[in-house]
Amino acid sequence: MGENAPAGTAQDDLMRLRATIDNVDAALVHLLAERFKATQAVGRLKASAGMPPADPAREERQIARLRSLAQEAGLDPQFAEKFLAFIIAEVIRHHEAISAAHGSPGESGSAGS
Amino acid sequence: MGENAPAGTAQDDLMRLRATIDNVDAALVHLLAERFKATQAVGRLKASAGMPPADPAREERQIARLRSLAQEAGLDPQFAEKFLAFIIAEVIRHHEAISAAHGSPGESGSAGS
């Protein structure tokens, strides 16, 4: 086809790329749902076992690992770190909600769990 | 086991849950890398085909779809929407960087692409 690609090709390419993006987004949503199930289980486990909610050493290991995985995958490591912080903020929101429901003094933490 | 679970069980459970979280995080990082590859291809395609970078109707469809997928998956739909906004902010940052590199007037948009 060269320089005279038929009309509609760019539109077709756009539709194909958007279909990929939509598939990836569906996978991301389902993985995030699983991740929050796991962090909620961690929250319950820590509460029932009397473990401290926050674990800064665990969080540091998670950041280092995600940055390294990002580098291998061709993703900006700084974005990977921002992404983890974004997820952790939501995990803390969940844990605070659990604490509030149990009448305990809303301790946050347990970070990326 | 009942109430007298052996010592170490809570710690073992925690390790198992964290291994799941780490696996999910690795998958998320790799999917995000693929998603940004696709949105960068969209950015290049739109620039070369002279398509407008932003497409508000597409973005609205993405939000509605992700909220619905989140609901099915047991994920807070409001979080899914926040998540898409977080990703889109990064996509716009990429597109602005591409525009800047090409000397065009840094138009943002193309949203979730």
Q: Which residue has the tokens 């540091």?
A: A60
pLDDT band, residue B111 (cuts 50/70/90) = low
CB contact under 8 A, A14 and B45: yes
Neighbours of A51 (CB within 10 A): 15
State how far residue A14 is from chain B, nearest Cα, in angstroms: 6
Domain contains A26: yes
Span B32-51, pLDDT tens digits: 999 999 999 999 999 899 99
Domain contains A34: yes
Please give the model's pTM, rounded to 2 decimal places: 0.85
Mutate to test the interface with B, among A14, A30, A93, A98 (most CBs of B within 10 A): A14
Residues of B in contact with A113 (CB under 8 A): 17-18, 21
Residues of A in contact with B27 (CB under 8 A): 31
What pLDDT does A100 receive? Answer: 77
3-class DSSP state for residue A55?
coil
CB contact under 8 A, A38 and B24: yes
Quote the CA–CA distance of B112 and B49 in Å, as a whole number.
Answer: 18
Domain contains A55: yes
- The range of the structural domain enclosing residue B17 comes to 9-101
State how far residue A30 is from chain B, nearest Cα, in angstroms: 6
Number of domains in chain A: 1
Span B51-109, pLDDT tens digits: 988 889 999 999 999 999 999 999 999 999 999 999 999 998 887 776 777 665 444 44
Domain contains A111: no
Domain contains A3: no
Amino acid at position B105, single letter: P
pLDDT band, residue B2 (cuts 50/70/90) = very low
CB contact under 8 A, A112 and B25: yes
CB contact under 8 A, B45 and A17: yes
Domain contains A106: no
Span A30-64, pLDDT tens digits: 999 999 999 999 999 998 999 988 889 999 999 99
3-class DSSP state for residue A108?
coil
CB contact under 8 A, A25 and B69: yes
pLDDT of A108 over the 50 cut: no
What pLDDT does B103 receive? Answer: 63
Domain contains B42: yes
3-class DSSP state for residue A74?
coil
Per-residue CA distances from B25 to A24, A45, A60, A65 (Å): 14, 20, 14, 10
What pLDDT does B69 receive? Answer: 98
The answer, for B84 touching chain A at a CB cutoff of 8 Å, is yes
Q: Which residue has the tokens 């990703």?
A: B87
CATH code assigned at A15: 1.20.59.10
Domain contains B112: no
Find out whether A53 and A109 touch, Cβ atoms under 8 Å: yes
The answer, for B110 touching chain A at a CB cutoff of 8 Å, is no
Find out whether B66 and A21 touch, Cβ atoms under 8 Å: no
